[in-house]
Amino acid sequence: MTDLTTIFKNHKAFIAFVVAGDPNFEATVDQVVALAEVGCDLVEIGIPFSDPVADGPEIQAADLRAFDQYITPQRVFELVVAIREKTTIPLVFLTYANIVYQFDYAAFAQQCQSLNVAGLIIPDMPLEASGELRPTLDHYGIALIPLIAPTSDDARIAAIAQQARGFMYVVSSLGVTGTRRHITTDLATLVAKIRHATTLPVAIGFGIHEPAQAMAQIADGVIVGSAVVHLIATHQLATAVLRDYTRWMRRALDGRTADTVD
């Protein structure tokens, strides 16, 4: 099983998010392979869900396109099988609590283990609700990656850090996912508090979409979701533009000049 902390070892990590089955099964496989080939360190695969409370309009629309392709949780595992035939890039799932519950905790975790899906991000499962699932994931070596809200105080951060696995996912702004022109959260102070509570790497997501927001000086990595999903929705040959976009962000994270990308 991939140790997720290793993706942050040698440089700032670029983490991209795609929705499984958007616009179709084969395209998602190609998207993940393309991202892996040009410097993406980890791909977050969203399992389509009917009530994605953390997701904004861009990702909700992608979920609907995936449903049109009859993408079920079991079909997502089949998609990962196809991905694993072409790349060993680290993968995690973004999913919702009811999906894992309905699938059966142990069965879901066992499938993840067999396909080297190293972690889960579950936006609607706060720390207080994770006690039933966490031992099962620990048994199978699957990280439950926590979300840290901008409003989290020291005590809350410490409690989350004590149970955290993989890395700390910092939510840059209140609200749902979606690109933002300006991020007003005092992320430097928030990240400093997290680093006081844990040695796990810190990645920032929600709203990040361009190099100026990459925040390489603050965090160990960035997570880009809605911007990647938008590129997939608006470009027929999405793999080419995903490669260009990843190179653009990779240069920014590495401290090199980032040219403009459409």
Active-site annotation, residues? 44, 55
CB-count burial class (<10 Å; 0-12, 13-18, 19+) for 201: buried
Reading the block at residue 160, the tokens are 């989350």
Q: Are residues 18 and 28 in contact, defined by beta-carbon separation less than 8 angstroms?
A: yes
- Tally the C-alpha atoms within 13 A of residue 123's C-alpha that lie toward its C-beta: 20
Alpha-carbon span 50 to 238, nearest angstrom? 25
- CA–CA gap between residue 17 and residue 237 (Å, rounded): 17
What CA–CA distance (Å, rounded) separates 249 from 238? 16
Quote the tokens at residue 85.
């035939």
Q: Evaluate the omega torsion of the peptide bond into residue 23 and state whether it is cis, within 30 degrees of 0.
A: yes
**Lookup: tokens for 239:** 């793999």
